[in-house]
Amino acid sequence: MALLQIAEPGQSSAPHEHRIAIGIDLGTTHSLVATMRSGQAKVLPDEQGRVLLPSIVYYGAPLSYGEEAKPFITQDPKNTIVSVKRFMGRSQADIKFQHPYELVGEANEMPAFQTHAGAKTPVEISADILKQLKIRAEKSIEQPINGAVITVPAYFDEAQRQATRDAAQLAGLNVLRLLNEPTAAAVAYGLDQESTLTTDRNYVIYDLGGGTFDVSILRFSKGVFEVLATGGHTALGGDDLDRLIVKWAKQQLNIDTLSDIEYAHFMVAARRAKEQLSDAASVELELPNHQLALDRPTFERIIQVALDHSISVCKRVIRDAKLELTDIHNVVLVGGSTRSYAVQQAVARFFEQTPLCSINPDEVVAIGAAITADQLIGNIKDGSLLLDVTPLSLGLETMGGLVERLISRNTAIPVARRQEFTTYQDGQTAMLIHVVQGERDLVEHCRSLGRFVLHGIPPMTAGQARIEVTFQVDADGLLAVSAKETTSGVEARIDIKPSYGLADQDMQRLLLEGFEYAAQDKELRHLQETKVEAQRELEALEQALKADQHLLEASQLDALENARTALQAQLETQDIKAIEQAVEQLKIYSDAFAAIRMNRHIDHALKGTKLDDWSNSTSE
């Protein structure tokens, strides 16, 4: 996990050994592994030269994976698990789609598949698939694997992500990050490298895989990459196209019901026909005891309902991003199902442009994951690489030990944020900028990244100076913080560079604490803010007394001093209510004092002004 640590400004990153990281696309239908080789991301084949590992495990004899497990889908469907990704992080009650498995477990629990090899949870089955890819990578690279990036659909919820993370850990992989699949595709296409563009660019990533549909809108603006909106459907993909073909075939052949075995045969035939249709105009559906012809127009008609569904999701996401169709510069196709001519046509028609598919749509996600993995493990080259998001929030310390967040967690980078701050005291000429990272509201609960002092602020009344603080996280993960006083132009800055040493546990702890203490933090923040406000009040009063104490009568001064002492005493406590009351009390007297001062100054001003001048200047 990337966290930011301090380095001396201008110091280049220390030389380090080359470490091996892999990117894994753990797909519903297929899974792949890729790694960086001589600066290029490459998918890794198995010993037979096959790149796609079908996400299938046969829990019988012999225990088989991938292509070898495929024949058992029809021979022994109950023990041959396919599309396990659909079950990840789901309870029994969530699973409403048709499947041939015997699931055990309570309704609100993660189910287990009853197999010859015993009960297997979706996490264990996914781990078995990941292990195969890990072995493949180790054989191919001939070096131990230091870390892995695993991709997940953008809309995977916490339970699904956690299940994926657990599976990877069970497979013995060091998870550097779970990366959203559309982000990986964007990285693979180098969309983050288009920083030379001067105008904004919006891209749509349309990912129609085996079991899931995912559409995302990414924007590039002045070299900054951000995710504008995502949407999708956990149950829309190539499998559904296959089901629609089976449904159609049943109607054509007047078949009412199919046994599990027959159904599996129909599904295999439907899928084969669908895939062949991407290269041929018409194909034969090879069903047990039946032959049925299927051509492209018929196929397009059969799957229209699924295509319409995917397009309506696109419409919604574009609306969420507050964009028009004409704002979309390119559409990127991802996922095996986008090989279907009918899908490409539907996308082209809706977006009124030819979608991008120059990178193999099966491999593009794994390639992006490999690039990200290489970067996260610390093999950063001179060229800029995209760290897709900031793992924790970045901010700075304000009065009272509070954190003001400038860049929140999960912000796509590179990114720059600017905010104005001001001085706290009259005549203040220096300001301490303390950069911190974490999700908590108090500085002491966050991680300190570094501090620097902005000197040379011209003396002004408190609150008048304008200090612009800029946080900039570059494409290579480098955070630069600068502070500039706008009237004088004095400036100071610090460079903070990424380190990859933070253990997952620390990251987890920082994140969890953020959630856990949210309520408590709010309380503490309120207390700190109240105290800062009170301090400000006291200091303003102090200045006023210095200048105009003589305007007060002895009794007035006494009342004021008493209220001041009372507030000072309350500031030692944690009692927000009591502090607020003491401030209110003090304000009664200090406001009265302010009124006396004001009258006095106006008197003074009027004395030196002729009445004519006064009316002239106001009427101008």
Contact 129, 5 (CB under 8 A): no
- State yes or no: residue 54 binds ligand ADP (CB under 6 A): no
What type of residue sits at position 125?
I
Stretch that binds ligand ADP, among 232-240, 378-386, 401-409, 569-577 (CB under 6 A): 232-240
Nearest CA among 588, 590, 583 for reference residue 552: 590
Residue with Cβ nearer Mg ion (111 or 336): 336
The rounded distance, in Å, linking the Cα atoms of 34 and 129 is 15
339 binds ligand ADP (CB under 6 A): yes
DSSP string, 483-534: EEETTT--EEEEEEEEE----HHHHHHHHHHHHHTHHHHHHHHHHHHHHHHH
23 binds ligand ADP (CB under 6 A): no
Residue 174: closest CA among 585, 463, 551, 501: 501
Cβ proximity to Mg ion, 191 vs 469, nearer residue = 191
> Should residue 23 be labelled a site residue for Mg ion when binding is judged by CB under 5 A?
no
Phi, psi of 309, deg, nearest 5? -60, -45
Q: Is 181 designated active site?
A: yes
| The only residue of 111, 209, 378, 391 in contact with ligand ADP, by rule CB under 6 A | 209
Q: Which one of residues 66, 209, 238, 414 is an interface residue with Mg ion (CB under 5 A)?
A: 209
From the CB of 305, what's the least distance to ligand ADP, in Å? 16
Of 202-210, 379-387, 468-476, 537-545, the window that binds Mg ion (rule: CB under 5 A) is 202-210
Active site residue 207: yes
In the complex, the smallest distance separating the C-beta of residue 12 from Mg ion, rounded to whole angstroms, is 38
Q: For the packed helices 518-548 and 576-607, what is the interaxial angle rounded to 10 degrees?
A: 30
Burial status of residue 490 (CB atoms within 10 A of its CB: 0-12, 13-18, 19 or more) = middle
- Residue 407 structure tokens: 């860049």
C-alpha 447: how far from chain center? 20
- Catalytic residue at 374? no
300 part of the interface to ligand ADP, by CB under 6 A: no
**Which of Mg ion, ligand ADP, none does residue 393 bind (CB under 5 to 8 Å by kind)?**
none
Residue 183: DSSP 8-state: H
211 contributes a contact to Mg ion by CB under 5 A: no
Q: Is 613 among the residues known to form the active site?
A: no
Structure tokens at 199: 């105008």
Please tell me whether residue 368 binds Mg ion under the rule CB under 5 A: no
Residue 147 as a binder of Mg ion (CB under 5 A): the answer is no
C-alpha–C-alpha distance, residues 159 and 556, integer Å? 64
- Measure CA 234 to chain center: 19
Coil, strand or helix at 344: helix
Residues ≥6 apart with Cβ < 8 Å to 561: none
Partner whose binding site includes residue 233, from Mg ion, ligand ADP, none (CB under 5 to 8 Å by kind): none
Among 68, 94, 226, 275, binds ligand ADP (CB under 6 A): 275
CB 30 to ligand ADP: min, Å: 4
How many angstroms separate the CA atoms of 168 and 118, rounded? 21
234 binds, among ligand ADP, Mg ion, none (CB under 5 to 8 A by kind): none
Tell me the residue ranges of DSSP E strands in 385-441. 394-398, 402-407, 415-421, 431-437
* Residue 280 vs 606, nearer CB to ligand ADP: 280
Given 160, 310, 337, 437, the residue binding ligand ADP (CB under 6 A): 337
User: Using CB under 6 A, which of the segments 27-35, 100-108, 422-430, 521-529 binds ligand ADP?
Assistant: 27-35
Residue choice 238, 391, 414, 514 for contact with ligand ADP (CB under 6 A): 238
Q: Which of 46, 76, 78, 85 is catalytic?
A: 85
Pair 89, 162: CB distance under 8 Å: yes
Structural contact between residues 371 and 21, judged by C-beta atoms closer than 8 angstroms: no
Q: Tell me the closest approach of the beta carbon of residue 261 to ligand ADP, in angstroms.
A: 20
Verify binding: residue 212, ligand ADP, rule CB under 6 A.
yes
- 3-class secondary structure, 359: coil
Q: Would you say 341 or 517 has its CB closer to ligand ADP? A: 341
Work out the burial of residue 305: count CB atoms within 10 Å of its CB; fewer than 13 is exposed, 13-18 middle, 19 or more buried: exposed
The yes or no reply on residue 30 touching ligand ADP (CB under 6 A) is: yes
CA distance 414 to 498: 13
DSSP run (H or E) holding 96? none
Q: Which residue among 76, 166, 192, 207 is the active-site one?
A: 207
Half-sphere exposure of 604 (CA within 13 A, CB side): 6
| Residue 274 binds which entry of ligand ADP, Mg ion, none, CB below 5-8 Å type-dependent | ligand ADP
* Minimum distance of ligand ADP from residue 264's CB (angstroms): 15
Specify the stretch interacting with ligand ADP by CB under 6 A; choose among 21-29, 168-176, 286-294, 564-572: 21-29
Asked if 80 touches ligand ADP (CB under 6 A), the answer is no
Binding residues vs ligand ADP (CB under 6 A): 27-30, 209-212, 237-239, 271, 274-275, 278, 335-337, 339-340, 362
Catalytic residues: 25, 85, 181, 207
Binding residues vs Mg ion (CB under 5 A): 27, 209, 335
